[in-house]
Structure 1
Amino acid sequence: VRYKHAWPLNHDLDTTGDAGTFQDLIMWDQMSNDARRALNSVHFGKANTPFNDGNFRPKLEKAWPFKK
C-alpha cells in the first residue's frame, strides 16, 4: 500500500507492487493521552478521521455484515 497526496486537494491509499516493510500494530489504548486527544479534537478540514472516538464505532457498525 502506498500513501499519496495532492496538496491541498486530497490524500489516499493505493496499491503498489513494491516490496515494503511491516509496521507494528498499535492499539488505541497504547497511544498516549495527547495522541488520542489530538485525533479526537483536531479539525482536519474535509478529511475524515475514521479511527477517532466519534467515527470508529459508527463505521464499524455500518461495515458489520451480520444482522443484529
Structure 2
Amino acid sequence: MSTDCAAPSPPRSPLPRGAEGDTGGDLAVLAELAAEGAVTVEIGGQGSWDRFDEAAEALRGRRISGKAVLEVVTQ
C-alpha cells in the first residue's frame, strides 16, 4: 500500500472555462438583455437561501433545469 497522497485539486471556478478576469461588464449586458426580453431566463426552482444545499444538489443531479433563484432576506 502506498503512503503517497495526491495533492488536492484546486477549487473549481464558478466561471465557465476560458472566462478570465472581470466578468462584471458581461453580466451587466446579460442582465440588461434579460430585462428587455431579448433573452429568456428559465427559472427551474426558487426558494430561501437557507435551502442552498437542496438547490445545489437538485442542480447537480439535474432534477431541475434552468436557474435556481435563492432569496436572501436581511432582518
Structure having the higher Rg? 2
- Structure-2-length-normalised TM-score: 0.28
Of structures 1 and 2, the one scoring higher in RCO (CA 8 A, sep 6+) is 2
- TM-score normalised over the length of structure 1: 0.29
